[in-house]
A and B are shown apart, each in its own frame.
Chain A
Amino acid sequence: MDAKEIYTRLVSQFGSERILAFRDDAAGDPFVLIRPESVRGVMQFLRSEQSLDFDFLSLITGVDYPDQLTVVYHLFSYSQTHKLVVKVELPRASPRVDTVESIWPTANWQERETFDLLGVEFVGHSNLRRILLPEDWDGHPLRKDYQQPDEYHGVSNW
Chain B
Amino acid sequence: MQDFLQTEEILVNMGPQHPSTHGVLRLVIRTDGEMVRETYTHIGYLHRCAEKIGENLTYKQFVPYTDRLDYLASINNNLGFCLAVENLAQIEVPERAAYLRVMGAEMNRIASHLVSYGTLGMEAGAFTPFFYGFREREQLVAIIEKMCGARLTYHYARLGGVMRDITPEIARDTREFVRTMEQRWEEYNTLLSFNEIFIKRTANVGIIPRDMAIGYGLTGPCLRGSGVEWDLRKDDPYSLYERFAFTVPYGDGRMGTVGDSWDRYWVRMVEIKESLKIITQVLDGLPEGPIMGKVPRVLKLPVGEAYMRVENPRGELGFYLVSDGGTKPYRLRIRGPSFCNLSIMNALGRECLVADVVMILGSIDVVLGEVDR
Contact = CB atoms under 8 A, between A and B. Distances in A.
Contacts of A152: none
A29 B43 contact: no
B228 interface: yes
B318 A58 contact: yes
A61 B347 contact: no
Given A26-B303, A106-B217, A132-B43, A81 B235 contact: yes
Interface in A45-84: 55-59, 61, 63-64, 72, 74, 78, 81
Given A26-B305, A28-B306, A132-B43, A141 B52 contact: yes
Interface residues of B, number: 43
Chain B interface, DSSP helix/strand/loop, else mixed: mixed
Nearest to A113: B339
A27 B302 contact: yes
A63 B214 CA distance: 25
A106 B217 CA distance: 5
Nearest to B330: A63
A152 B304 CA distance: 37
Interface in B45-75: 47, 49, 51-52, 55
B132 interface: no
Contacts of B215: 55, 104-106
Contacts of A109: 339-340, 343
Contacts, number: 97
A81 B228 CA distance: 13
A28 B87 contact: yes
Interface string B285-314: 000000000000000011111110100000
Nearest to B212: A105
Given A26-B305, A27-B302, A28-B88, A57 B217 contact: yes
Contacts of A33: none
B322 interface: yes
A148 to B, nearest CB: 9
A61 B320 contact: yes
Contacts of B303: 26-27
B230 A26 contact: no
A58 B309 contact: yes
Contacts of B373: 132
A20 interface: no
Given A72-B320, A74-B318, A142 B52 contact: yes
Contact of B343 (A63, A81, A85, A106): A106
Nearest to B340: A106
Given A78-B228, A132-B44, A29 B307 contact: yes
B216 A106 contact: yes
A117 interface: yes
B318 A59 contact: yes
B217 A63 contact: no
Contacts of B339: 109, 113
B331 interface: yes
Interface string B303-345: 1111101000000101011110000001101010001100110
14 contacts: A28-B87, A28-B305, A31-B305, A55-B214, A57-B217, A58-B307, A61-B333, A78-B228, A105-B215, A105-B216, A106-B216, A106-B217, A110-B217, A133-B44
Interface of A: 26-29, 31, 55-59, 61, 63-64, 72, 74, 78, 81, 85, 104-106, 108-110, 113, 117, 130-134, 141-142
